[in-house]
Amino acid sequence: MNFITKACKLVSGLFASVPWPFPDNGYFIRNAKFFGIEVTPQFERIMKEEIKVQHELMSHLTRKMLDGTIVKLDKFTIEFKDGTVLTLAQYCDEIRYMFKTEKYKSLCRSRLMYVVERLRSNIQRNKKKDGTFKIPKIRIHDDKSWYFKDAFVALDVDNKTLTFDTIRGPVSVKYNGSIKADELLADLKNRKKKKFGGNYVIKQNCFVAAHRVPFKPLYKPTAVLGFDFNKTASQWIVFNNGEVIPMPDEFYNICMEIKSINKILGEKSKPISQRTMRSKERRKLRKKWKALHKKLNKISKEIAYSMINMAVNSNSLLVLDSVKGGQDLGTFGQDHIMPSLQTACEDLGIPYYKVPCKNTSRRCSECGHIAKDNRKTTEEFKCLSCGHEEVSHFNAAKNISYIGKMLFEACVPFGNYERNKVETIIDRYTNSEKAK
């Protein structure tokens, strides 16, 4: 830690004197909730028919892939074994008989796109290193929620009515109350299409719709504050200014306890004879799991707000590390912190970017050289090109902050980065000889 503190003095004030432009205000996504949905027999019947169609589409595509008729599924195209490539719209016209309607072409295409995306994402998750994959059996969760693609739901606030476009025609339902419906309406005024999408959650009897909220920065940043998450408890969160937040013991213990509970609860898929716990004991364990998560969220918010205070006090742009924990969630813990931190930044108006973390641990912050062997251990970094040495976590934090600085200079709106908009910027950074 002392080494980091000394090293950071060399880069203090690096960004303060830079005459930066100011990005246009971006937006972030929040959910509007409509509860107390009046489920009419017509609405329920139509929704079940929609789910049935989606099941049939899934079975149809799965069979075609298993017998080799379809060799590749893309986001917008389908490739066949004879070399023919059709767009989803063209293929939708070929299988119109499955929808049992000649109307609502756009709706039929949206249903096909939804099913294709479900199948593609599942195949991607199950793909092996050699490129082979097993076609999984995918179930459309008709017992949990009904999904409506964007621009197929209309809102009437005066009459408290939601109108859903379906392949069997439009159907309207009443709702009793709403949360953030006014924000949704304000967002719709800025859209060309005055409709939206979302999920009808059956168990809660509510409809949840996403809407955009304008991001209003609290201040114009004059510095950059980036950080790197690590597995090392003593250097859990390392900032480019030399500050270090160690992992609290309570946080670690709760994460490990949740991890052990998840292992036990995962036994539900096993035969009853192989389970180590009865149903009554499992219910008690679920209550304990919820209580632990509630406690963990409280600690996560405290840590998130301490990081925000650091950014506000230094008038800094906060650059978030987007690394995911995966199987190491119990020892890494960032998947608990990041949602709280991101939400707090958006609500309070803290200028921030969430940037990709690819090669930030392997790249030299001085000369830009990228090599796996640059990082000798989890703690040591030595560039094979220029010989630069420093603590690996501090080097990664500086790389992350540099990416944020480049996005700011390019006037990218604050928030979670959109890959298609900033890919060239990131490539320029990655391929540059030196990051300054």
Domains of the chain: 2-26+218-249+300-431 (3.30.420), 32-214 (no CATH)
pLDDT of residue 321: 76
What gap in Å lies between CA 275 and CA 265, rounded to an integer? 10
Helices (H), 76-104: 88-94
pLDDT of residue 195: 85
pLDDT of residue 230: 78
Distances from the Cα of 352 to the Cα of 22, 73, 194, angstroms: 13, 36, 30
pLDDT of residue 34: 92
pLDDT of residue 330: 43
Tell me the average confidence (pLDDT) per consecutive run of 10 residues in the chain, 436 residues long: 37 40 72 88 85 84 85 86 88 86 82 84 72 61 67 86 87 89 85 82 85 85 87 82 86 85 68 60 84 89 90 90 55 74 87 80 77 76 79 82 83 68 58 44
Query: How big, in percent rounded to 5, are the helix, strand and coil portions of the chain?
Result: 45, 20, 35
Radius of gyration of the chain (CA): 25
Q: Are strands 70-73 and 196-201 parallel, antiparallel or unpaired?
A: unpaired
Q: Please list, in sequence order, all residues whose beta carbon lies within 8 angstroms of the beta carbon of residue 412, skipping any fewer than 6 positions away.
A: 23, 353, 421, 422, 425
Distances from the Cα of 204 to the Cα of 10, 41, 145, 164, 365, angstroms: 55, 18, 10, 18, 50
Q: Please list, in sequence order, all residues whose beta carbon lies within 8 angstroms of the beta carbon of residue 84, skipping any fewer than 6 positions away.
A: none
What gap in Å lies between CA 210 and CA 150, rounded to an integer? 9
Beta strands in 254-378 (DSSP E): 316-321, 352-355
**Three-class secondary structure of residue 159 per DSSP:** coil
Which amino acid is residue 322, in one-letter code? S
What gap in Å lies between CA 333 and CA 229, rounded to an integer? 9
pTM to 2 decimal places: 0.70
Q: Please list, in sequence order, all residues whose beta carbon lies within 8 angstroms of the beta carbon of residue 166, skipping any fewer than 6 positions away.
A: 46, 47, 49, 50, 104, 107
What one-character DSSP code corresponds to residue 417? P
CA atoms in the 13 A half-sphere facing the CB of 193: 9
What gap in Å lies between CA 325 and CA 348, rounded to an integer? 26
